[in-house]
A = this chain, B = another copy of it.
Amino acid sequence: MTNSLKPCVLITGFAPFGGENINPSWQAVQALEGLNIDGFTIQTKELPCEFDTSIHALQGAINKYSPHVVLCIGQAGGRADISIERIAINVNDARIADNANNQPIDTPVVPAGPAAYFTNLPIKRILLALHQSDIPASISNTAGTYVCNHIMYGLMHEIALHHQNVKGGFVHIPYLPSQAVHHNGAPSMSQQTVESALKVIITAAISNKSDLKVAAGTTH
């Protein structure tokens, strides 16, 4: 393994879904391919927006790159800021079919897996770093019940079983302006801002500092 010689971050985006032509997560992620951030090489991967298949693709990329940090990014159409997911839950409940035409309802991501996994990224440190960079961001306590939550659960399960030194997490991003044009009144974020956000997140994630204790919860 040459992993220790060339430390890397694996960052993933998703294929378009739900009638969109693009997915802002992959638009921003692919722009980071090959970058060097604080000595870490950025490796990227586009995941299919499909239950199960997406997890297999992610596992393949983890095995290929042996990353220190894995960051999965997904579109949250309607959210206004960068939202850093705190937890993934062991359920699939698809409001719409995925790109392979599967629509699981109330099935587990991993049969007999735990009810949920917390991210092991320093989410409060990431939050403050984004704010200090003038980028709107918040902590989210639900990644939904679709493929985004599914991949985050699959990632944290993989880390728990096979890669306990790896840091992993999930970040939701808004529509791009070009998408919001077709979603009357929906908020958006420019790709440039999203790319800046991803660099800030990666820098904080690889800093290897413990998380901060700052309140960022919700009353409901």
- Whether A138 and B189, one on each chain, are in contact in the complex, defined by CB atoms closer than 8 angstroms, is no
- Whether A141 and B145, one on each chain, are in contact in the complex, defined by CB atoms closer than 8 angstroms, is yes
- Whether A144 and B141, one on each chain, are in contact in the complex, defined by CB atoms closer than 8 angstroms, is yes
Q: Mark contacts of A15-51 with chain B using CB atoms, 8 A cut-off: 1 yes-contact digit, 0 otherwise.
A: 0001000000000000000000000000000000000
Q: Mark contacts of A127-169 with chain B using CB atoms, 8 A cut-off: 1 yes-contact digit, 0 otherwise.
A: 0000100111111011111101000000000000000000000
Decide if A76 is an interface residue (CB 8 Å cutoff): yes
- By a CB distance below 8 angstroms, the chain B residues around A190 are 189-190, 192-193
Distance A141 CA – B142 CA, assembled complex (angstroms): 6
How many whole Å from A50's CB to the nearest CB in chain B?
14
How many whole Å from A198's CB to the nearest CB in chain B?
14
Q: List the number of copies, as a whole number.
A: 4
Known: A118-B115, A141-B145. A135 touches B220 (CB 8 A): no
- Whether A216 and B93, one on each chain, are in contact in the complex, defined by CB atoms closer than 8 angstroms, is yes
Decide if A67 is an interface residue (CB 8 Å cutoff): no
Known: A138-B184, A144-B218, A219-B144. A91 touches B86 (CB 8 A): yes
15 A-B pairs in the complex with CB atoms less than 8 angstroms apart: A75-B220, A76-B219, A76-B220, A80-B186, A80-B188, A89-B116, A91-B118, A94-B215, A96-B219, A105-B213, A105-B215, A134-B178, A143-B220, A148-B220, A192-B192
| Chain A contacts to B: CB under 8 angstroms | 18, 74-81, 86-87, 89, 91-96, 103, 105-106, 114-118, 124, 131, 134-139, 141-146, 148, 172, 177-178, 180-181, 184-190, 192-193, 211, 213-220
